[in-house]
Amino acid sequence: MRRKLVVGNWKMNGSIAKNKALLDNVISGVQHLRDSDYVVCVPYPYLAQVQSLAQGSNVAWGAQNLCANENAALTGAVSPHMLVDYGCSYVIVGHSERRMQSHETDDTAAARFNAAVSGGLTPIFCMGESKEERESDWTEYVVGRQLDSILRRFGADMVAKAVLAYEPLWAVGTDNPATPEQAQQVHKFIRNRIARCDKVVAKNVRILYGGSIQPANAAALFAMPDIDGGLVGRCSLDAKAFVDICRAADQYAIAA
């Protein structure tokens, strides 16, 4: 059975003092939860602090982006090996905010995906459609195109080394999340599309839901057969809310 995974995406939030209080409470809150996996993805400047606080706990950490180049004269860029130096296990790739606001394309997201895997990191590869695309019944076309940008380039064996995340743009950062049934439909589509290439990879790859997951809807989402956890935004900045979501994942794993 696939282990549930809960990933907190702090986005552009944090301070030295606030991070310590938040992470101390998260670590203590999940220390007895052993049947799922827990991760925080934090801004670059705080990786050293999070490494110091989280090492030895059952909370892993990662970054929110990376450069596709391992070595290059690129001012302000961060390479895969730099993230590994700070103990990162995961890195978010192709998040909707970067696709929309930083001009990330399928091609550049795929290059970052490849760099992450090649550098020893697990990419959390994000896919999702806009409100207009959903209303035009283009969800499967858009998500399928984004998935194919890595599946066709690198094959199912590389996808097996990643975590996938479905994050509908119309739900991110809102109080209008996808229903469990809506999310399950897209997760099933993603898994079935991978199965056309490799059924074993499709069965085992973890696919997270990432559109306004909260304590109130986490259990219902995690109960869906193809939803393997959550990519959590706002609620990852609230230790109690994040721990409640982690607890929902863990309790579901025990019940299953």
Matching residue, tokens 């982006």: 65
The active-site residue out of 32, 95, 132, 181 is 95
> How far is 107 from 177, CA to CA, in rounded Å?
28
Long-range contacts (CB closer than 8 Å, 24 or more residues apart) made by 213-216: 213/177, 213/245, 214/177, 214/241, 214/245, 215/241, 215/244, 215/245, 215/248
> How far is 210 from 7, CA to CA, in rounded Å?
9
Q: Cβ distance 191 to 207 under 8 Å? A: yes
Q: Name, in order, each residue with C-beta under 8 angstroms of 8's C-beta and a sequence gap of 6 or more.
A: 26, 39, 40, 41, 232, 235, 236, 237, 242
The active-site residue out of 97, 104, 167, 187 is 167
Q: Is 95 a catalytic residue?
A: yes
The dihedral sign for the CA sequence 119, 67, 7, 192 = negative
Count of beta carbons in the 10 Å neighbourhood of residue 187: 22
By C-alpha distance, which of 124, 213, 220 is closest to 174? 213
Residue ranges covered by each domain of the chain: 4-255
- The pLDDT profile of the chain, 256 residues, written as one tens digit per residue, is 799 999 999 999 999 999 999 999 999 999 999 999 999 999 999 999 999 999 999 999 999 999 999 888 999 999 999 999 999 999 999 999 999 899 999 999 999 999 999 999 999 999 999 999 999 999 999 999 999 999 999 999 999 999 999 999 888 877 788 999 999 999 999 999 999 999 999 999 999 999 889 999 999 999 999 999 999 999 999 999 999 999 999 987 655 5
The dihedral sign for the CA sequence 97, 100, 102, 107 = positive
Tell me the H-state helices in 86-138. Answer: 96-101, 106-118, 131-135
Domain 4-255, CATH among 1.10.4190.10, 3.20.20.70, 3.90.440.10, 3.40.50.2300:
3.20.20.70
